Structure 1
């Protein structure tokens, strides 16, 4: 009996959408290397910073993973949300999560792309997005640095939004801030092994 119980697979973990049209809806989390979804607690803080209504914003969710950040933005009325994920299994899971959410469709446009996030970001025009989420696998420091630098060129937060960056606790806030000299970390948090900044272009 005990052996049979041990052999049973545990059900997939879930994270919930905090607010908006899809509030309390659940997203499945796969057990994949480097996949570390932003916790409910952190997302609640981040979206309190950003506001409950993201109408009019063009959003990029880089290294989307479960899509928790991008789907949260869509739930709160963002006009366009592009979620990018290069892992085949994670991308398929994004599509599955999205199809389940479609029972209550949002007004905004949502694209889920099986693409390399950094390559995609480098192809975007200057000032073409308003809100960019950057939360890559923590073990790849260079990937985070390159994405943050490119986001500084692509993002225009004059109508709201900003650049949200999640990074491991062993990195200093000042080190990440140095990647965006024209921006400032208007909001900052530390939670366990995670640090996060919401960068704004000259305004809180």
Structure 2
């Protein structure tokens, strides 16, 4: 997996309260920020759902997706990132933006997801971003844990970005695919958790 050199150490927020702000990102191995074009498509899909939403970003990397959601008035974001330098930069970027309605968790997303959500103490999430590093087999266990461990509010939207040649996705039975597109080596989909 190659690094995205076009990012040149910055991520640009497309729209919302921080529109056109450019924030520094670490050029870490495997960091593959979602391109502006894909992000624009995604947030067009989410446009009527993002304001006031609780957002979970499972593999934040540059934080492009969660920062874009917060810029567009998501009420809260929990941002998970394994690499400590990237997590530190995300925390700094939140300070720069004077954003106090987000938490950065520096750790393994699967470990965090396995702990589950105590629904008596905390609300679930309305929008979840799943954009794991490619070729590491992380998509299916992430989707399974989201479905099994009370992370999702009813009608939650789940965005999944994977390599386009992946053939073994295991989508939970109560998730309905709403949108699907491909751009080069990337495939991206939007699902909704629907309780019968």
Both proteins in one fold, TM over 0.5: yes
Please give the secondary structure, in 2, of the residue aligned with 1:156.
strand
| CA shift for structure 1 position 85 | 0.9
Query: For 2:26 and 2:108, how far apart are their aligned partners in 1?
Result: 19
Query: For 2:58 and 2:49, how far apart are their aligned partners in 1?
Result: 21
Which of the pair is proportionally richer in helix?
1
Change (3 A) 1:92 1:28: same
Q: How many residues align?
A: 183
Please give the secondary structure, in 2, of the residue aligned with 1:98.
helix
Q: Give the corresponding residue for 1:189.
A: 181
Unaligned runs of 5+ in 2: 1-6
Unaligned runs of 5+ in 1: 1-10
Please give the secondary structure, in 2, of the residue aligned with 1:43.
helix
Please give the secondary structure, in 2, of the residue aligned with 1:94.
helix
Q: Does 1:37 align with 2:33?
A: yes
Q: Does 1:56 align with 2:48?
A: no
Q: Does 1:131 align with 2:123?
A: no
Query: For 2:48 and 2:24, how far apart are their aligned partners in 1?
Result: 23
Task: Give matches, 1:102-121, under 5 Å.
Answer: 102=98, 105=99, 109-121=101-113
Q: 154, 160, 169: which is aligned to 1:165?
A: 160
| CA shift for structure 1 position 56 | 2.6
Query: For 2:136 and 2:186, how far apart are their aligned partners in 1?
Result: 15
Bigger mean CA offset, 113-122 vs 80-89: 113-122
The answer as to whether partners of 1:16 and 1:27 remain within 8 angstroms in 2 is yes
Please give the secondary structure, in 2, of the residue aligned with 1:190.
strand
Query: For 1:65 and 1:150, how far apart are their aligned partners in 2?
Result: 20
The answer as to whether partners of 2:154 and 2:194 remain within 8 angstroms in 1 is no
Query: For 2:44 and 2:90, how far apart are their aligned partners in 1?
Result: 24
Query: For 2:164 and 2:27, how far apart are their aligned partners in 1?
Result: 22
Please give the secondary structure, in 2, of the residue aligned with 1:130.
strand
Query: For 1:98 and 1:42, how far apart are their aligned partners in 2?
Result: 23
Q: Give the corresponding residue for 1:65.
A: 61
Bigger mean CA offset, 114-123 vs 62-71: 114-123
